Amino acid sequence: MDWRQLWEIASAPDNIPIVGLIPLLIFYIYLAWKQAKANDELIAELETSPAMAKTHHRKSWPFRPGWQKEVHVWPFLLRMEFLAAIIVSAILMVWSITLSAPLEEPSNPNLTMNPAKAPWYFLGLQEMLVYFDPWIAGVVMPTLIIVGLMVIPYIDTNPLGSGYYTWKQRKFSIGTFLFGFLFLWVAMIIIGTFIRGPGWQWFWPGQTWDHNRLIYEVNRDLPDIFGITSNLAKAIFGAVVVGGYYLAGGFIAHALFRRYNPKDYQRLSLLQYSIMMFFLLTMVALPAKMLLRLLWHIKYVWITPWFNV
Amino acid sequence: MAEDNKNGKNGNGARVGLLERVKAGVKEDVQSLKTDMPAKAKEQIEHLKDPTKTQVYTSIFRHKHDDTPRNRALGVLSNVFLHLHPAKINRDAVRYSYTWGMGGITFYLFIVLTFTGVLLMFYYHPSKVQAFRDVLYLEHDVPFGKLLRNMHRWAAHLMVIAVWLHMFRVFLTGSYKKPREFNWNVGVILLVLTLLLSFTGYLLPDDQLGFWAVTVGTNMARATPLLGHEGPFGHQLGMTPYNDIRFGLLGGSIVDANALLRSYIWHCIGIPIVASIFMIVHFWRVRKDGGISGPAPVMLASEVKEPKK
């Protein structure tokens, strides 16, 4: 166990934000979960007793008759904002006094940094470069993430859970988002920050970064395993496999979604449903391709003269 | 005195000379100074006891500040900075546990970054010869220069975290749902702009860290489908290292002086202006879409009115 190596990574000034993000995320997930739980309990109670549902103020926070439903912004909100500004300023001041922004040697195109890492918030994308060609990892994936985020309000037709924390009313959408945000975005950043060392090789936390380490890894392409040699056959084979993934995966997702989310399934139009399925399957394709690489050393699935997937 | 003057004039006719009249006048003036000024001073002191009645004060502040509901509302509504807020809000909306304050903190950090960024611009030249030396100069010679640079760097990282947590909270509370779909989209664009702001700033110190991060980052642009010379179909469309999208981003085929200047202009002028415009829309729409989304009363599944198809 090389504690020094671990400390060097964790204490690198530019890695502090990601080290700080982890406890912050844990805290805020706890905060959200606590409120979701209280609201879900209240919802269950109101569902069973219609009389109570008619009179209850429907929040998990206390409310008594006679209390005003609205408060003045001055001072009740403004004091919160003022406090937040002071606290953030204080944190920023202390942070800036105690920790200096990194400054390396002057830029030198002839001396490559190893590992050459993007800023921490882009390490998820850089990690994807291991599994995908740059045109997918660097261009298509970010575009799909942005577009995927933008279509969320238009494909989530569930009217429940608007304006309060809940889990039981929105299991599917919250589950999907948590998977995408925590496992595909934050976890990849953590891997990129803590695990990836020189040569972008995998070093477990505490393992010394060996700049001379060589890994003999033979990656194969999926068509090779099936003994396909001609270019045309490879292109057709790949298209069939990728198309097959979307069809078979789509069918499985359809079967599950129809059963477990009948109301949303009813509400979704054909366009909304297809867009949701496309983004869902594309998102799942990312860990699927990672598994193909990590378990069976498969590099490409679909090989054409113009692009490889 | 006026009487004396008159008598003198009557008694001696035209013989009363100019000198006499001037003398009398001066005497009169002196007397007025002795009697009127103390009276005015007294009056002035009386006014000072209540400065809110002075013309200067009332010209600035348009209403009284007695602790009445009306004045509390006016304090918010008649102030250009505060009028983003409504006069009154939902009593539970000021709870920290609901909003986490992350949107406001993001905006506050943007202000901090603008402030420290402008100060940094006084000491920085975006040229290959001077950029790195300017940072050294800032770190070692400029009074509080190091603190300034640190604050700018850490506030930028903090802003990225705050934006992510803000998006996380908005998702978990379902706040992107009708009628707020469009504002979620504006928010996604602001998220992208925040990351781009941070990324364009990374190159500016012109050190190894920034140089290689930007090299790695922009190398992906080579692989852009259709528009990059290494991307799918790029070659077929006549893309070379000297005319593709990466060339346009960097102003050259390598990360050099032009890239430094371009990233400086995007960082300091281009993106901040675009982001400010989107922020204006974002804040405006928060109000127009009905203010902050909650905490709203919980809704029961049995109460959902299915729209007729």
Q: What is the 3-state secondary structure (H, E, C) of B136-181?
A: HHHHHCCCCHHHHHHHHHHHHHHHHHHHHHHHHHHHHCCCCCCCCH
Give the pLDDT score at B308. 58
pLDDT band at A258 (very low <50, low <70, confident <90, very high): very high
Of B165, B214, B170, B164, which Cα lies nearest the Cα of B191?
A: B164
CB contact under 8 A, B154 and A101: yes
Residues forming a β-bridge with A303 = A308
Which residue has tokens 């940072």? B135
Say whether pLDDT at A205 is over 80. Answer: yes
Comparing CA positions, the residue from A298, A152, A70, A203 lying closest to residue B89 is A70
> Do the chains contact at B220 and A137, CB–CB below 8 Å?
yes
Q: Closest approach of chain B CAs to the CA of A28, in angstroms?
A: 8
A99, B30, B119 from B145: Cα distances, Å: 14, 59, 9
Residue bearing tokens 């997918």: A136
Closest-CA residue of chain B to A106: B207
* pLDDT of B271 above 80: yes
pLDDT, average across residues B201-223: 90
Could A159 and B299 be called an inter-chain contact, meaning their C-beta atoms sit closer than 8 Å?
A: yes
Maximum mean pLDDT: which of A149-158, A288-297, B74-83: A149-158
- B165: nearest CB among A28, A103, A169: A28
Q: What would you report as the CA-atom Rg of chain B, rounded to the nearest whole angstrom?
A: 34
- Report the distance separating Cα B95 and Cα B113, nearest Å: 27
Cis? peptide before B272, omega within 30° of 0:
no
How far from the centroid of its chain's Cα atoms is residue B202's Cα? 22
Distances (CA, A) of B247 to A280, B227, B229, B242: 34, 10, 10, 6
Phi, psi of B207 (to 5 degrees): -105, 180
* Confidence tier at B1 by pLDDT (50, 70, 90): very low
- B308 DSSP 8-state letter: P
What is the mean pLDDT of the segment spanning B258-273?
A: 96
Q: Which residue has the higher pLDDT, A113 or B85?
A: B85
> Residue B34: pLDDT band by 50, 70, 90 thresholds?
very high
Using a CB-CB cut-off of 8 Å, the residues of chain B touching A166 are 174, 298
Query: Is residue A47 within 8 Å of residue A173, measured between CB atoms?
Result: no
Rounded Cα gap, residues B93 and B87, in angstroms:
13
Task: Please give the ipTM for the structure prediction.
Answer: 0.94
State the pLDDT at residue B14. Answer: 56
List the one residue out of A283, A254, A286 whose CA is nearest residue A270. Answer: A254
- Centre a 10 Å sphere on the Cβ of residue A44 and count the other Cβ atoms it contains: 11
Over residues A19-47, the mean pLDDT reads: 95
Scanning every residue of chain B, which has its alpha carbon at the shortest distance from the alpha carbon of A111? Answer: B208
| B296 closest CB neighbour out of A16, A21, A164 | A164
Instruction: With CA atoms as reference, report the closest residue to B149 among B159, B158, B139.
Output: B139
Distances from the Cα of A299 to the Cαs of A126, A241, A302, A308, B180, in angstroms?
A: 17, 14, 9, 9, 42
Q: Do A28 and B299 touch (CB under 8 A)?
A: no
Residues in chain B: 309
Asked whether the predicted pLDDT for residue B67 surpasses 70, the reply is yes
* 3-class state of residue A72 by DSSP: strand
First-to-last alpha carbon distance for chain A, in angstroms, is 38
Q: What residues contact residue B65 under an 8 Å CB cut-off, 6+ apart?
A: B52, B71, B75
Mean pLDDT of B132-154: 96
Nearest CA in chain A to B108: A85
Contact B72/A105, CB-based, under 8 Å?
A: no
Q: What would the mean pLDDT of B219-229 be, rounded to a whole number?
A: 87
CA distances from B18 to B11, B12, B32, B194 (A): 16, 13, 21, 81
Search chain A and give the residue with CA nearest B90. Answer: A70
CB contact under 8 A, B298 and A166: yes
- Residue among A39, A175, A79, A157 nearest B296 (CA): A39
Q: What percent of chain B has pLDDT over 90?
A: 60
Return the pLDDT at B31.
94
Which of A30-39, A196-205, A275-284, B151-160 has the weakest average pLDDT? A196-205
Residue whose structure tokens are 């399957």: A281
Q: How many CB atoms lie within 10 A of CB B290?
A: 11
Q: Is the dihedral of CA A274, A278, A284, A285 positive or negative?
A: positive
> Checking phi first, is residue B17 left (phi over 0); if not, alpha (psi -120 to 50) or beta?
beta
End-to-end CA distance of chain B: 98
> A67 vs A247, which has greater pLDDT?
A247
Task: Report CA dihedral (A219, A223, A229, A232) to the nearest 10 degrees.
Answer: -130
CA of residue B30 relative to chain centroid, distance: 55
Does the beta-carbon distance from A92 to B155 stay under 8 Å? Answer: yes
